[in-house]
């Protein structure tokens, strides 16, 4: 594989950039692999990469029904953070933050990680207390957290509405300075390119249609491009988890819901942080191109549509305008949606299953982009060693039976209001 470097850039310029290697190949599926990863989203690609890099397992195929990066990894609003209260979530996410900081070097691919900080706004005294508590929990776990008062918030984001007579006045906020954003496509492509270079087969336009299981053990997968023999399968299909679970005769604590996002026309730099509204569900950041990137609530009913309805968008943008009135002047450029694997406690599952050789990675809700490196790393460990790592021990499927739920927001099992 050619390294991406200034030297190679200059060298290739001499031949009009016509001789670069393909970033990854387009192989035909082999008859047999050691591990098959289903789903070429961020998590599947990262898992394959860490299987090869950390565990020397390279006879691996990623089976993707569409094209890599066509799922949620290419549809999200790219917020990366570890501002969690529960230990399992906090330690897992902070481990991920460390991988994010090193990712561009590690992958030799500029993922444009931008630790610009995230501010969660508070709109009441009670909310300030809750944020103080969350901030303290974060700091106990070694994560940076700063509680800001109204004046401090105003200094950072003066364009927010600080007038007195508003329905949800800004009391202050909780900031994680090390949080930020990254270029989502680059993350998928960077992992794909490195995994490919270590021998992983990235097989696109190939749908998994069934499983070959006997005596409780995985023997293979059926795909639209033929049967493949394999003893270990990692399921990383995000919003399609329930569809494949049915083929495995499993019913999971997951529902599939739709989340929309949108971007405005590009404008000059105005917002250099990620900001979330605390009296509803709205978040915003500005992309390098200048677009305001915005999102909020789920559409609110089970959906596989991959495109949203207007009432939710209107609701979300109304919150945005309440928080930052200047947004009402902007024209909307694009809206889109992705289907989310909403788990019943809002936390993910990375675990073995009762079927030998079947490993489960799902339940990412709307926060799975930031988890991409840590999820891939721990899932690769779980598959390679056939046991969970301590970082993902809390993400067991069993917790729904034992009661050790990880409900960060305390919302209960109504996934559609999460």
Ligand X SMILES: Cc1cc2nc3c(=O)[nH]c(=O)nc-3n(C[C@H](O)[C@H](O)[C@H](O)COP(=O)(O)OP(=O)(O)OC[C@H]3O[C@@H](n4cnc5c(N)ncnc54)[C@H](O)[C@@H]3O)c2cc1C
Question: Which parts of this chain interact with ligand X (CB under 6 A)?
Answer: 38-44, 63-66, 70-73, 75-79, 207-208, 236-240, 244, 259-261, 295, 338, 340, 364, 366-370
Place of tokens 């002047």: 329
| 126, containing H or E segment | helix 125-140
Beta carbon of residue 253, minimum distance to another protein (angstroms, whole number): 4
Contact status: 25 vs another protein (CB under 8 A): no
User: 402: which residues sit within 8 A by CB, 6+ positions away?
Assistant: none
Closer residue to another protein in complex, CB, 194/361: 361
Contact status: 255 vs another protein (CB under 8 A): yes
Build a one-symbol-per-residue string for 371-400: x at contacts with another protein by CB under 8 A, - elsewhere: -----------------------------x
DSSP labels, 219-241: EEEEETTEEEE-SEEEE--GGGH
Closer residue to another protein in complex, CB, 216/226: 216
Contact status: 247 vs another protein (CB under 8 A): no
Please tell me whether residue 360 adopts helix, strand or coil conformation. Answer: strand
Cβ pair 97, 237 in contact under 8 A: no
Please tell me whether residue 80 adopts helix, strand or coil conformation. Answer: strand
Name which of ligand X, another protein, none residue 244 binds, using a CB cut-off of 5 to 8 Å depending on partner kind. Answer: ligand X
For 303, phi then psi, to 5°, come to -155, 140
Closer residue to another protein in complex, CB, 16/314: 314
| Subset of 318-357 contacting another protein (CB under 8 A) | 344
Contact status: 4 vs another protein (CB under 8 A): no
Closer residue to another protein in complex, CB, 289/307: 307
Name which of another protein, ligand X, none residue 304 binds, using a CB cut-off of 5 to 8 Å depending on partner kind. Answer: another protein
d(CA 272, CA 232): 44
Instruction: Kindly tell me which residue out of 77, 176, 276, 303 binds another protein, with binding defined by CB under 8 A.
Output: 303
Taking the CA atoms of 241, 393, 396 and 246 in sequence, report the sign of the dihedral they define: positive
Closer residue to ligand X in complex, CB, 94/171: 94
d(CA 256, CA 279): 25
Residue 356 DSSP one-character state: B
Beta carbon of residue 414, minimum distance to another protein (angstroms, whole number): 7
d(CA 8, CA 291): 32
For 10, phi then psi, to 5°, come to -65, -45
Contact status: 14 vs another protein (CB under 8 A): no
Contact status: 416 vs another protein (CB under 8 A): yes
- Strands 201-203 and 60-63, how do they pair? parallel
| 315, containing H or E segment | helix 310-323
Name which of another protein, ligand X, none residue 208 binds, using a CB cut-off of 5 to 8 Å depending on partner kind. Answer: ligand X
Residues lying near another protein in the complex (CB under 8 A): 242-243, 246, 251-256, 300-305, 309-311, 344, 400-401, 413-414, 416
């Amino acid at each position: 594989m050619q390294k991406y470097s200034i030297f190679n850039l200059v060298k290739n310029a001499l031949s009009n950039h016509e001789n670069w290697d393909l970033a990854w190949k387009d192989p035909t599926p082999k008859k047999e692999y050691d591990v098959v990863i289903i789903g070429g989203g961020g998590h599947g690609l990262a898992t394959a990469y860490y299987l090869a890099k950390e565990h020397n397992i390279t006879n691996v195929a990623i089976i993707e029904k569409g094209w890599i990066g066509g799922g949620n990894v290419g549809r999200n609003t790219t917020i990366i953070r570890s501002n969690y209260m529960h230990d399992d979530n906090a330690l897992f996410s902070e481990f991920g933050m460390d991988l994010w900081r090193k990712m561009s070097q590690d992958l030799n691919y500029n993922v444009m990680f931008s630790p610009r900080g995230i501010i969660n706004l508070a709109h009441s005294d009670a909310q300030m207390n809750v944020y103080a508590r969350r901030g303290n929990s974060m700091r106990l776990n070694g994560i940076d957290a700063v509680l800001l008062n109204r004046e401090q918030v105003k200094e950072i984001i003066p364009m927010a509405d600080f007038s007195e007579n508003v329905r949800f006045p800004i009391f202050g906020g909780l900031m994680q300075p090390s949080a930020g954003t990254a270029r989502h496509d680059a993350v998928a492509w960077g992992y794909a390119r490195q995994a490919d270079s270590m021998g992983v087969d990235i097989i696109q336009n190939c749908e998994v249609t069934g499983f070959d299981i006997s005596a409780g053990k995985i023997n293979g997968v059926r795909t639209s491009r033929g049967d493949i023999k394999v003893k270990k399968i990692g399921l990383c299909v995000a919003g399609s988890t329930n569809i494949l679970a049915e083929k495995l005769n499993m019913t999971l604590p997951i529902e599939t819901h739709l989340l929309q996002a949108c971007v405005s026309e590009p404008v000059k730099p105005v917002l250099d942080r990620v900001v979330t509204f605390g009296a509803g569900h709205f978040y915003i950041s500005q992309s390098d191109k200048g677009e305001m990137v915005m999102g909020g609530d789920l559409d609110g009913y089970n959906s596989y549509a991959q495109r949203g309805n207007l009432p939710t968008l209107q609701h979300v943008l109304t919150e945005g305008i309440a928080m930052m009135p200047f947004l009402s002047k902007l024209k909307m450029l694009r809206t889109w949606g992705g289907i989310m694997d909403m788990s019943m406690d809002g936390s993910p599952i990375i675990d073995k299953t009762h079927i030998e050789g079947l490993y489960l990675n799902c339940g990412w809700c709307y926060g799975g982009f930031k988890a991409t490196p840590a999820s891939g790393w721990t899932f690769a460990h779980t598959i390679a060693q056939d046991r969970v790592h301590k970082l993902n021990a809390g993400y067991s499927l069993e917790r729904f039976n034992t009661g050790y739920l990880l409900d960060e927001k305390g919302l209960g099992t109504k996934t559609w209001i999460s």
